[in-house]
Amino acid sequence: MTFKELSQYLEKLEKTSSRNEITSILSELFRKSTPAEIDKTVYLVLGSLAPSYQGIVLEEVFSSFSRYWESSLKVISRLYLLPQVRGKEKGDLGTVAEELASGAGGSITVAEVHRALLDIANEAGEGSQEKKISRMAKLLGELTPLGARYVARIPVGKLRLGFSDMTILDALSFMVAGDKSARPEIETAFNVFVDIGVIAQIVKAKGLAGLKGIKPTAGTPIRPSLAERLPSAEKILEKIGPKVAIEPKYDGFRAQVHVYSEGGKRKVSIYSRNLENTTHMFPDLTQAISELKVKTAIFDSEAIGYEPGSGKFLPFQETVQRKRKHDIEEIAKRLPLKLFVFDILFKDSKSYIEAPFSERRKVLEDTIGKKGAKLEITRQETTDSAERIRDLIQTYLSEGLEGAMIKKIDAPYKAGARGFHWIKYKKNTGGGVADTIDCLVLGINKGRGKRAGFGVGAFLVGVRQGEKFKSVSKIGTGLTDEQWRELDKRARALEVREKPKQYELHKNLEPDVWVKPSLVVEILADEITKSPIHSAGLALRFPRLIRFRDEKSPEQATTTVELESLYAMQKK
């Protein structure tokens, strides 16, 4: 397929907000793609070059435009910044590129464009920046104006087509089955092997039968398992008992750890909750993991900061400071981490995802052995007593932890799924709203009066329904001065001119400034109520900001189904 043809599909996708129509357009595109190019097509329509966990990114392309069109950077900047040029919106570099491009672009293929962009991203060494500029300029010169629009948007993360991996899975189902009936089977494979391009290639070349060979692979992350909520210890035992395993719930950040060989060398990779590769941030943990006597393995774990002298656990706001790209060695000494491993999914070429939790625990104990200064198995107790569950929860809370995880002893690991195999019980469970709510910031209203100095006076948040986000609360209180300033700083960096097409809300709730789907915040509320105003159908009463959840992606925000469940629980 030529990139000219793909660009025409991208334009169709950009012009529609209908989820069904987007799925239809994508399925048609995938039918026309060959097995050799469908993976590249998938990456490009998602605005990337590879799965996100590989961390392959392109840089800013201002200089490319300047070099190729022999225009000054000042002129290009003016085109980019002015809201209107010649009556057309110039809010992104793609529109600037389209305005200035003049290539025919008729023969360059999707695979060739992908290869060229990948080469630019991987260019390294002395003079690499100049080479990147030259290569990008050359590529843009070979494209049609429409093609230049979309290629220019990829390096700055602004392809803006309004869908994610989940819609790709639907489209693949339509490609092979004509409807969504194959989606569960495709998603099951994707949950344990999150390279969406490879999944598409297998489905295209071998059909659904090809997915039966998919299994966990060390070095490729698995979508993490998630917990459900229940209002009491008695309800938990009734649902998943009679005997359960109870473990402390650490208030740190999720770390999926992979041990494997690559190019004949032993490697350790650590992935966050949203499957970002964070290995370079944690040299201390990487060293501890590398000492394990195992050839290949995948562990699920939680990292939490502690005071070196007392061993006391630190709150999340301090632990999260370790997630940074600079001065890593220095902060590792000042803020040490400990990794608590609570599950094993793969070891020495054998998958344990389908094994019961009790078996996985035994394998984990055999693998980790005695606890060390940086690494240990999460402590666990089995019980059939609601009273003992409550006692252990109080013990965990007194240690500064978040609560407890109660686990079904014979349950498999449910990759990418939330279910009653795990139940989380936090300090606010049992009274009012049973859990905090992870909301997406949709937009902000500018501050007035005292708030004028903060930049933000209120902000609108939503919860997820499929790939849409529906409003659930407008929050104007419950933040410290520092949190207001931090919200203003973050919102400014994510400001967009138009309402993202994933957002659904009443026109009377539209904010002063839209924020692109990126910023997840943890909200605590006294109550969830029915709402005729908010598009989620529910609203949060007396909401307040607990923290910014940088480790969570928009796709990991609380869903409308979860919110309905929390609403029902508070009435029991």
Q: What pLDDT does 90 receive?
A: 43
**Cα gap 179→426, rounded to integer Å:** 40
Q: Answer yes or no: is 185 a known binding residue.
A: no
**Cα gap 53→356, rounded to integer Å:** 28
**Would you give the DSSP letter of residue 308?**
T
Q: Answer yes or no: is 273 a known binding residue.
A: yes
Q: Answer yes or no: is 424 a known binding residue.
A: yes
Q: Answer yes or no: is 330 a known binding residue.
A: no
Domain limits, CATH 2.40.50.140, in the chain: 437-570
**Cα gap 289→257, rounded to integer Å:** 8
Each residue of 17-38: pLDDT tens digit? 888 999 999 999 999 999 999 9
Domain limits, CATH 3.30.470.30, in the chain: 226-426
* 515 and 441 Cβ atoms separated by less than 8 Å: yes
**Cα gap 248→401, rounded to integer Å:** 7
| Residue 445: closest CA among 410, 407, 473 | 473
CATH superfamily of 3-156: DNA ligase, ATP-dependent, N-terminal domain (1.10.3260.10)
Of the candidate ranges 322-326, 330-334, 385-389, 503-507, the one whose mean pLDDT is the lowest: 322-326
- Identity (one letter) of the amino acid at 278? T
What is the average per-residue pLDDT within 559-572? Answer: 88
Q: Answer yes or no: is 78 a known binding residue.
A: no
Q: 139 or 236, which is more confident?
A: 236
Residue with tokens 């998602």: 46
**Cα gap 539→460, rounded to integer Å:** 11
Residue with tokens 């595109």: 29
The token duo for 501 is 């097409």
Q: 73 or 531, which is more confident?
A: 531
Q: Answer yes or no: is 418 a known binding residue.
A: yes
Residue with tokens 């606010």: 428
Could you tell me the maximum CA-CA distance found in the chain, to the nearest angstrom?
Answer: 75
Per the confidence metrics, is the pTM higher than 0.85? yes
The yes-or-no verdict on residue 494 having pLDDT over 50 is: yes
Q: Answer yes or no: is 228 a known binding residue.
A: no
**How many other β-carbons are positioned within 10 Å of the β-carbon of residue 368?**
19
Q: What pLDDT does 89 receive?
A: 42
Catalytic, 131? Answer: no
User: What length is written for the chain?
Assistant: 572
Most confident of 274-283, 310-319, 428-437: 274-283
Pick the CATH number of 437-570 from 1.10.287.180, 1.10.10.10, 2.40.50.140, 1.10.8.50: 2.40.50.140
User: Which residues neighbour 207 within 8 Å (Cβ) at sequence distance 6 or greater?
Assistant: 176
What is the average per-residue pLDDT within 483-487? Answer: 93
Domain limits, CATH 1.10.3260.10, in the chain: 3-156
| Residue 150: closest CA among 43, 22, 17 | 43
The token duo for 45 is 């329509």
Q: What pLDDT does 74 receive?
A: 43
**How many other β-carbons are positioned within 10 Å of the β-carbon of residue 460?**
25
- Identity (one letter) of the amino acid at 499? K
Q: What pLDDT does 61 receive?
A: 45
**How many other β-carbons are positioned within 10 Å of the β-carbon of residue 101?**
23
Cα 222 to the center of its chain, rounded Å: 12
**Cα gap 399→136, rounded to integer Å:** 54
CATH architecture of 226-426: 2-Layer Sandwich (3.30)
Residue 77: pLDDT band (50, 70, 90) is: very low
**Cα gap 462→95, rounded to integer Å:** 30
| Residue 506: closest CA among 473, 542, 529 | 473
User: Which residues neighbour 537 within 8 Å (Cβ) at sequence distance 6 or greater?
Assistant: 470, 530, 531, 560
Q: What pLDDT does 156 receive?
A: 61
Query: Could you tell me how many helices (H) and strands (E) the chain has, helices first?
Result: 20, 23
Q: Which residue of the set 40, 204, 249, 501 is catalytic?
A: 249
**Cα gap 290→358, rounded to integer Å:** 25
What is the average per-residue pLDDT within 189-210? Answer: 97
The token duo for 532 is 């005729």
Alpha helices for 69-143 (secondary structure H):
73-81, 93-100, 110-122, 128-141
**Cα gap 202→211, rounded to integer Å:** 7
The CA distances from residue 345 to 107, 360, 533, in Å, are 46, 7, 44
